[in-house]
């Protein structure tokens, strides 16, 4: 979709704002062209001694009335038109946010956060200006140009008008050349601002790491270099925009010179009055605004086009996980994985990096707990991503309650799953609000009960504001273990059918881990339909699981209960003995 089509559709949908604004702009243009004609008539009347006293006062009051009418109409159409243009910015930001919210992790692996933020701010602002300032300036300038030229041709002298227009084709050529350079410079400016924005976002997010490694100086130098490049690109765009003014000035200077030359001759010959020449000169001065408006409109349009060229690919980017399911209610039943295979890479022609899952087959009945263990990179987190439909397997099938996962809508599927990743994310809100994220209407008693089950209640009470304590951006005021337990409390409060813990107990001590697992067992007794999948490096977290599977290079190499796997004396048994020995040494 081009910029003209985008703005045209928006104008049609908001004609109630643009229509009255156009009428008011027409009134402004009409009043404006009446002023020079009235001034010319007054000068001729004064020169002929026909205008004095009461009549002169009336004429001056009429001029004052025209000025007031122009002022009132200009204020009115600006208020009406700008309020409509801002709605386009709201629409575009809403569309962009909705699209970004629907994208999966694979999309964000190819995008930069700072660039996305720049698109939502600077780029949409440029499109918004094209729908507001560019349209109003273009309409106002075009209307004024047509009316002024019409009055000059028909109401003053066609010969003066013809000779005054001779320099204008050269100005049009200059405008065409300038606008092409502005498009290129504006696109470069937006790109470099995105790079600067991305660096700032990364630096602020990783400020602790930068300080710990003593990299503040290098980061500051990189920022200075990016800021300088962004400033240079913006300056180039501004320089080309500034080129409009000399083109307009030279054109109008040439037109004025030609007009005064021919006009003076016609006055000398008695073919034109001094008042008419004065009116014509004033009309020529009124052409300054349409010319400047043309340059301003071209500048805004080129900025808008450059911004839309960056924004459009994101708005039209296909979803990394299609939401084409029709089943809107979860069916009770077993979760079944049959010969599931998944490999990272392969997107956009990229080579396949490795197979993260290879022929995985599992069955989890309602109310059961599955333990996923294995070395780092074995495929545990990938398997959970497949269940969340953050990744689509290239082979095999996944079904829940008799329906394939992709037959459920994403909202239904993810509403039935509570997921706690290893790196828990908390929002800049209070602890209570973070726990109640999945159930905003939960009572304080329910929130506190979930916190007790996650073994975080006592920690929360030690804070000065208790549950109303703000956690800061990304939960920065809490320790890693506290963030994990708040996230676990959030998942336990949600009314879900499946609980996924992706190494979510890695930052807590073994005693706290034991209490959380005991509370989880209590919850399962009150909610027998709740199933759980616990992926963990620490084998003590899966001891009581109904089924434990050991993954290696994406394949299941061992499966069974804790006792059965110990009797088998494979990887699980050796890892268990090692972790028990490590725990006993730590206790000394």
Residue 542 lies in a domain: no
Percent of the chain with pLDDT over 90: 8
pLDDT in tens, 318-371: 877 777 888 878 878 889 999 999 988 755 545 455 688 998 999 999 989 999
pLDDT of residue 215: 72
> What length is written for the chain?
588
Report which DSSP code applies to 156: I
Q: Specify which of 135-139, 221-225, 562-566 reaches the highest per-range mean pLDDT.
A: 562-566
What is d(CA 126, CA 121) in angstroms, rounded to the nearest whole number?
Answer: 9
DSSP 456-483: -HHHHHHSTTGGG-B--GGGTTS-HHHH
Residue 389 lies in a domain: no
Percent of the chain with pLDDT over 70: 87
pLDDT of residue 547: 92
pLDDT of residue 189: 80
Q: Which residues contact 296 (CB under 8 A, 6 or more apart)?
A: 133, 134, 137, 244
Position 528 pLDDT exceeds 70? yes
Residue 518 lies in a domain: no
Residue 333 lies in a domain: no
Higher-pLDDT residue of 386, 159 = 386
pLDDT in tens, 30-52: 777 676 666 666 666 666 666 66
Residue 417 lies in a domain: no
What integer best gives the mean pLDDT of the chain? 80
pLDDT of residue 526: 80
Strand partners, 352: 345
The total number of structural domains that make up the chain: 1
pLDDT in tens, 59-94: 777 778 777 877 777 777 677 766 677 777 888 888
Nearest to 488 by CA among 501, 475, 477, 497: 501
pLDDT in tens, 405-416: 888 888 888 888
**Range 437-445, long-range pairs (CB < 8 A, 24+ positions):** 437/490, 438/490, 438/491, 438/493, 438/494, 438/496, 439/493, 439/494, 439/495, 442/493
Position 548 pLDDT exceeds 90? yes
In degrees to the nearest 10, what's the CA dihedral of 7, 12, 14, 18?
Answer: 80
Higher-pLDDT residue of 270, 235 = 235
Least confident among 11-15, 204-208, 355-359 = 204-208
pLDDT of residue 556: 92
Tokens at residue 346, please? 């392969």
Confidence tier at 422 by pLDDT (50, 70, 90): confident
CA 462 to chain centre: 38
Residue 74 lies in a domain: yes
Average pLDDT rounded to a whole number, residues 221-243: 80
Domain span at residue 301 reads: 3-316
At which residue do the structure tokens 């059961």 appear?
A: 368
Buried b (16+ CB within 10 A) or exposed e, 172-204: eebbeebbebbbebbbbbbbbbbbbbbbbbbbe
Average pLDDT rounded to a whole number, residues 419-436: 84
What is d(CA 572, CA 94) in angstroms, rounded to the nearest whole number?
Answer: 49
What is d(CA 269, CA 275) in angstroms, rounded to the nearest whole number?
Answer: 15
Q: Where are the alpha helices (DSSP H) in 103-156?
A: 105-108, 113-118, 124-129, 135-151
User: What's the chain's Rg over C-alpha atoms?
Assistant: 36
Are the beta carbons of 137 and 228 closer than 8 angstroms?
no
Whole-number Cα distances in Å, 285 to 251, 281, 297: 12, 6, 19
Average pLDDT rounded to a whole number, residues 266-271: 72
Average pLDDT rounded to a whole number, residues 508-529: 81
Residue 428 lies in a domain: no
Higher-pLDDT residue of 50, 534 = 534
Q: Is the model's pTM score more than 0.75?
A: no
Residue 27 lies in a domain: yes
pLDDT of residue 349: 47
Are the beta carbons of 549 and 541 closer than 8 angstroms?
no
Least confident among 289-303, 382-396, 508-522 = 289-303
CATH number of domain containing 183? 1.20.1560.10
pLDDT of residue 549: 93
């Amino acid at each position: 979709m081009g910029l003209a089509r985008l703005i045209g559709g928006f104008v049609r949908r908001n004609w109630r704002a643009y229509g009255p604004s156009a009428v008011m702009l027409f009134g402004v243009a009409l009043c404006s062209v009446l002023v020079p004609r009235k001034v010319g008539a007054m000068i001729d009347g004064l020169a002929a001694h026909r205008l004095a006293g009461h009549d002169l006062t009336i004429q001056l009051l009429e001029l004052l009335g025209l000025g007031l009418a122009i002022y009132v109409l200009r204020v009115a159409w600006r208020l009406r038109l700008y309020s409509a243009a801002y709605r386009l910015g709201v629409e575009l930001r809403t569309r962009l946010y909705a699209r970004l919210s629907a994208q999966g992790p694979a999309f964000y692996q190819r995008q930069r956060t700072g660039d996305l933020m720049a698109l939502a701010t600077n780029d949409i602002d440029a499109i918004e200006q094209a729908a507001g300032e560019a349209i109003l300036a273009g309409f106002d300038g075009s209307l004024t140009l047509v009316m002024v030229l019409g009055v000059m041709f028909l109401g003053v002298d066609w010969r003066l008008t013809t000779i005054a227009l001779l320099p204008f084709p050269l100005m049009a050529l200059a405008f065409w050349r300038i606008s092409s350079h502005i498009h290129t410079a504006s696109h470069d400016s937006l790109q470099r601002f995105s790079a600067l924005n991305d660096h700032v976002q990364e630096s602020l997010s990783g400020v602790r790491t930068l300080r710990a490694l003593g990299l503040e100086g290098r980061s500051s130098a990189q920022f200075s270099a990016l800021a300088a490049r962004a400033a240079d690109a913006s300056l180039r765009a501004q320089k080309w925009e500034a080129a409009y003014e000399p083109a307009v000035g030279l054109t109008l200077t040439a037109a004025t010179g030609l007009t005064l030359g021919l006009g003076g001759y016609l006055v000398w010959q008695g073919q034109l009055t001094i008042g008419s020449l004065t009116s014509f000169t004033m009309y020529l001065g009124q052409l300054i605004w349409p010319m400047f408006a043309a340059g301003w409109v071209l500048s805004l349009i080129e900025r808008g086009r450059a911004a839309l060229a960056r924004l459009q690919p994101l708005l039209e980017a296909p979803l990394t996980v299609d939401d084409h399911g029709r089943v809107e209610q979860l069916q009770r039943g077993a979760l079944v994985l049959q010969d599931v295979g998944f490999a990272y890479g392969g997107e956009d022609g990229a080579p396949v990096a490795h197979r993260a899952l290879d022929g995985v087959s599992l069955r989890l009945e309602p109310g059961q707990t599955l333990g996923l263990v294995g070395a780092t990179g074995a495929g545990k987190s990938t398997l959970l991503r497949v269940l969340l439909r953050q990744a689509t397997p290239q082979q095999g099938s996944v079904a829940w309650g008799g329906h394939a996962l992709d037959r459920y809508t994403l909202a239904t599927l993810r509403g039935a799953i509570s997921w706690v990743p290893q790196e828990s994310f908390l929002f800049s809100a209070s602890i209570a609000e973070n726990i109640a994220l999945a159930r905003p209407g939960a009572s304080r008693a329910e929130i506190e009960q979930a916190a007790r089950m996650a073994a975080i209640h006592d920690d929360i009470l030690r804070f000065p504001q208790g549950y109303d304590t703000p956690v800061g951006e990304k939960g920065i005021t809490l320790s890693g273990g506290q963030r994990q337990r708040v996230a676990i409390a959030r998942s336990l409060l949600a009314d879900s059918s499946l609980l996924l813990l992706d190494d979510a107990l890695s930052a807590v001590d073994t005693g706290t881990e034991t209490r959380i697992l005991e509370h989880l067992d209590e919850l399962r007794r009150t909610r027998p339909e709740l199933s759980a999948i616990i992926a963990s490096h620490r084998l003590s977290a899966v001891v009581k699981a109904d089924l434990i599977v050991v993954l290696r290079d994406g394949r299941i190499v061992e499966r069974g209960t804790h006792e059965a796997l110990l009797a088998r004396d494979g990887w699980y048994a050796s890892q268990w003995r090692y972790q028990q020995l490590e725990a006993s040494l730590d206790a000394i």
